[in-house]
Structure 1
Amino acid sequence: MTETPQAEFPLADEVREKLRKVSTATLTTLLLRRGFKNTFMKAVYPIAPGKRQMVGEAYTLRLVPFREDLGSIFSRDNSRDVQRVTVETIPPGHVLVIDSRGDAGAASCGEILVMRMMVRGVEGIVTDGGFRDSPSIGALDIPTYQSAPAAPPIMVKHYPVEANGVIACGGLTVFPGDVVVGDQEGVVVVPRAIAAEIADEAVEKEDIEEFIALCVLAGEPINDIYPPTPALLERHAEWARNGRKSNAMERMKA
């Protein structure tokens, strides 16, 4: 039996901040270079595009199909209900990732619970199902991602059975402690063991691509600059040494 690769220490602030500055597109490319092909959640979208970048360690919740002998939504014991306990125990700075089996036929969560997690400092919430009260949730100051809106209450389709175990969400395996990054395109899961290295590489890659974009806007063809050639990398280094001034690029072209 494979052990869950739990994080032994909190995600470093500097790693978190680097990941806030890079795109999920960049991260998927770097993960692919390391052999990780399946890292971007399928059919999971931001409820309200334009929110801040979401970066945090995964804290998971697993939902199974509801069965009528499991109880009633109208008579739940909040002290024992796995969903409610999770809302009150997920650590600040973490991302709640909900395994809803890709089923948005009923809500995986609603506005009041999302609001409570926001107040507690939770970084964001992701489900491959749906939220009820989606318009109101989209107005809250917390990034949220779903497959589709889902107005019916949770127990029309789902029953929460486990917190912080290994789950599937959006077609990905998610371990507690994995690093979850969300932007306007969607959500990427980065294995915790390589998160710091990926963050460093992503910042460097996007810095180089910023310079390439300046070259393209200046009229250069992509043949000799993208993917970056050794000559392009030398020009980029000179640009960086010159304070990242666009006219440095023109001097180097002359």
Structure 2
Amino acid sequence: MTNYTLSKETRDKYMAVATPTIATALFKRGLRNQFIQDVRPLSSKKANMVGQAFTLRYIPAREDLNQIEVFKNPSHPQRAAVEQCPPGCVLVMDSRKDARAASAGSILISRLQVRGVVGVVTDGGFRDSPEIAELEIRAYHNRPSAPTNLTLNQALDINVPIGCGDVAVWPGDVLVGDNEGVMVIPAHLAEEIADETVEMTAYEDFVLEKVQNGATIIGLYPATSDAPRIEFAEWRKKNGR
């Protein structure tokens, strides 16, 4: 749990950085396992997903406790998560890396979108995946899955620490998703990682331009002498970066 609140300024910074850049910044701090494994976007979109985690945990279903009638309960954890996940946040589901049954479908994901939730992530699968792919909300899963979650997974807890794709996710952690996948940023590091990755992105854009014009990467990437740093400073002034 965290009392951290993601500011608009920090959110905007993450909108302009890529997950590999974030991974490198976290690696410098000893965090090696923050990229959610085997989770992919349902569709490519222009804008990043940036928001704090609101979590849902599934456990293996027990047949006598996980019949269709459980959805009559308005406090059912899956339904409660959809109705309680705050606007601007990301609903993250621990589906035990099991995509044989769906974590949710297009109706629930549409409800999240209408409520202002910016993204949804599961290490399981979604049903109605073609329809979800057409929504504005960013959605990430392992693969399509038609069967209801009731067949294999039992929703148990909301807004508790979970594992998603072999990554620990605490409520309030910052998630950034692009067209490659999703990074999990511990809340207490969110602002400094945002600042650093904005700087890293500017330098990487400078390097890419140099390389595309024929420059060698030796001494340039990473910068191992003053010459590229001086040239980068001039490039930033010229390009307003």
TM over 0.5: yes
- Please tell me whether residue 232 in structure 1 is matched to residue 228 in structure 2: yes
Q: Which sits farther off after the overlay, 26-35 or 76-85? A: 76-85
Counterpart code for 2:175: V
Consecutive unaligned residues of structure 1, counting only runs of 5 or more, are 1-5, 246-254
Report the Cα distance in structure 2 between the residues aligned to 1:80 and 1:9, rounded to whole angstroms: 27
Q: 1:32 maps to what in 2?
A: 27
Residue 231 of structure 2 aligns with an amino acid whose one-letter code is: R
SS at match of 1:43: coil
142-151 vs 69-78, greater mean Cα deviation: 69-78
Alignment partner of 2:135: what SS?
Answer: coil
Which residue number in structure 2 is paired with residue 251 of structure 1?
none
Which residue in the other structure is 1:3 paired with? Answer: none
The reply to whether residue 110 of structure 1 matches residue 105 of structure 2 is: yes
The 5-angstrom pairing of residues 94-133 of structure 1 reads 94-133=89-128
Note the 1:43-122 alignment, pairs <5 A.
43-74=38-69, 76-122=71-117
1:195-235 deviations in Å (ceiling 9; x for gaps): 10000100100101111111112211111211123321111
Q: Which amino acid aligns with 1:60?
A: T
CA-based RMSD: 1.3
| Alignment size in residue pairs | 240
Report what 2:165 is aligned to: 170
TM superposition outliers: structure 1 runs of 4+ over 2 Å: 74-78, 241-245
Q: Once the two structures are aligned, what percentage of the paired residues are identical?
A: 46
Rounded to whole Å, the distance in 2 between the matches of 1:74 and 1:135 is: 27
Q: Does the 8 A contact of 1:78 with 1:85 survive in 2?
A: no
* Equivalences for residues 125-164 of structure 1 within 5 A: 125-164=120-159
Query: In 1, are the aligned partners of 2:126 and 2:144 still within 8 Å (CA)?
Result: yes
- 1:10 Cα shift? 2.0
Give the aligned residue type for 2:5: P
Which protein is bigger by CA-based radius of gyration? 1
State whether residues 46 and 186 of structure 1, in contact with CA within 8 Å, keep that contact through their aligned partners in structure 2: yes
Contact 2:4–2:187 (8 Å) recurs in 1: no
- Could you say if the C-alpha distance between residues 165 and 46 of structure 1 is closer, same or farther in structure 2, counting changes exceeding 3 Å? same
TM-score, normalised by the number of residues in structure 1: 0.91
